[in-house]
Amino acid sequence: MVFIVGLGNPGEKLENTRHNAGFMTVDFFAKKNDFPEFELEKKYESLISKKGNILIAKPQTFMNKSGLAVGKITRSYKLKAESLVVIHDDIDLPLGKIKIAKNRGSAGHKGVESIIKVIGNKNLVRIRVGIAPLRGKAKAPETFVVKDFAEEEQKIINKTIKKISEALDCFIENGLEKTMNEYNK
């Protein structure tokens, strides 16, 4: 089974913020691939959609406690970290850039840090979505990540989400190595 987790924060107010790049990506991927609507599964504290051997989750625990939800799902389904793909925002990458990595630390991302801590290992696939400002540096990263994308930025992130969806298709069909070779450019 492939377990895809999009990281973000629940609630309408935060729906289109930079921190929700993971949610936006799995929403697009699920729709493009005709997955059933996401449904809240309280025992997992997540919105879940499942089709065939692919499980998609959007933890509803808020970003910094994503590990709680992911841990419940991995234990319930008896999933290994190797089957886990986590999609999350990354303020250190230029807007629209993606980076696929495996078996790395959290690089300071609190949601990823939470997952690694709860599942007890870092042997998961991470798809990092660049959300850095188009110009300059984010002055206060904590507040910057919960701001909506500007119109120009939204166009870039939409293209990025489409590209990540294609990378997920490649990963499912061809595995990690080919996907990294194709999309880490």
132 within 8 A of 92, measured Cβ to Cβ: yes
Helix or strand or coil: residue 50? strand
* Active site residues per annotation: 19
Q: What is the rounded CA–CA span in Å between residue 140 and residue 159?
A: 26
Q: Where are the beta strands (DSSP E) in the chain?
A: 2-6, 39-41, 46-51, 54-59, 84-90, 98-102, 125-130
Is 160:89 a contact under the CB 8 Å cutoff? no
Please give the span between the terminal C-alpha atoms of the chain, in angstroms, as a whole number. 27
What are the backbone angles phi and psi of residue 8, rounded to the nearest 5°? 180, -170
